[in-house]
Amino acid sequence: MSDTVHSLSTSGLSPKQQVQCWSDTLTDLCGRFDIDPLEASSLDGRVNYTTVSRLKLCQIEASQHRVGHTDWRIRSTEHPYIKIHFQTYGISYFEQDGRRMEIVPGDILAYDVSCPHTITSPMLTRHDVVIVPKELLRERGFHTERMSACKLSSRAGTGRIAHEFVHAAFDEATKLSPNSAAGVAESLIDLLLLPLREADRTFDRVGPEAMYIRAQAFIREHLRDPDLCIDQISAALGCTKRYLHMLFSERGMTVSDYIWRARLQNCRQELETHAGKTITDVAFSWGFSSSSHFSRVFRKYFGVVPSSIHRAQHAGSAAQT
């Protein structure tokens, strides 16, 4: 038969013992971590966990705390796992590689445990976790050295099916023979990966290049919004402003440069193709709030004033009539 269900609680321990107990439990599951109960006087935590073949399945509840590790030196030795985290109650904030994500009930978070990170929970949280040895993903062709955190949804589709399968596997784990457990584990891994494939965001395709492409797409979609700024972009993409600055500076520009260049290019195209619009109409429709400012930056970027293009377009339209 498979493993039994193990249960642990910090109830009845002193605050110092609670932190140590929680740290020891996480170490046994997937490596050494730092635990901080934040400003709370105690850390109330409960965990039930079992194994299905080489997978570890956990049900975790904890009061406010921060957990994580920041030491790159222990990357490859103590944390050779990928975590699939299903949030079921409360809000947590995940940070890794300069990215920050808000995790709420219904979210799935998949991330490399070995890469330094923190998870901050300012209130009571509950989540189901599947701990997957990296070697099982390598067997499926994933390049684990390039994995980056990914947030998906368990509210519908393959994400919901995967979460329901996790629940069923946990409930039936103690009744499975070794052969059955191995089969269930294989099916569970493949099922857990479906949401990633469906979203075309497999672990080896969500690095800096993919984040830069996502940033470009978000900017294009909101280019007409005069309030578009780096704060809005970083919040939408779940990364820090510093990380965004790094992505664009590596390509020789700032985020602001990219936004204004894109706006100017669209303005010029519109001036050249829509003779019926005024310069002010075009400028304001693409996020500029001052026609004089628009004219200055337009001339600086293209070497001509927008009125010359506008006049040429009017002249061309008149000649055709």
Residue-wise pLDDT for 153-182, tens only, equals 899 888 899 999 999 999 999 998 888 888
Q: 6-205 belongs to which homologous superfamily?
A: Jelly Rolls (2.60.120.10)
Residue-wise pLDDT for 59-74, tens only, equals 999 999 999 887 655 5
CATH topology of domain 209-320: Arc Repressor Mutant, subunit A (1.10.10)
Could you tell me the pTM of the whole model? 0.62
Task: Tell whether the model's pLDDT for residue 2 goes beyond 90.
Answer: no
pLDDT value, residue 154: 92
| Ranges of each domain in the chain | 6-205, 209-320
Residue-wise pLDDT for 268-280, tens only, equals 888 877 767 888 9
How far apart (Å, rounded) are the C-alpha atoms in residues 99 and 32? 22
Mean pLDDT over 121-130 rounds to 96
Per CATH, 6-205 and 209-320 having the same topology is answered no
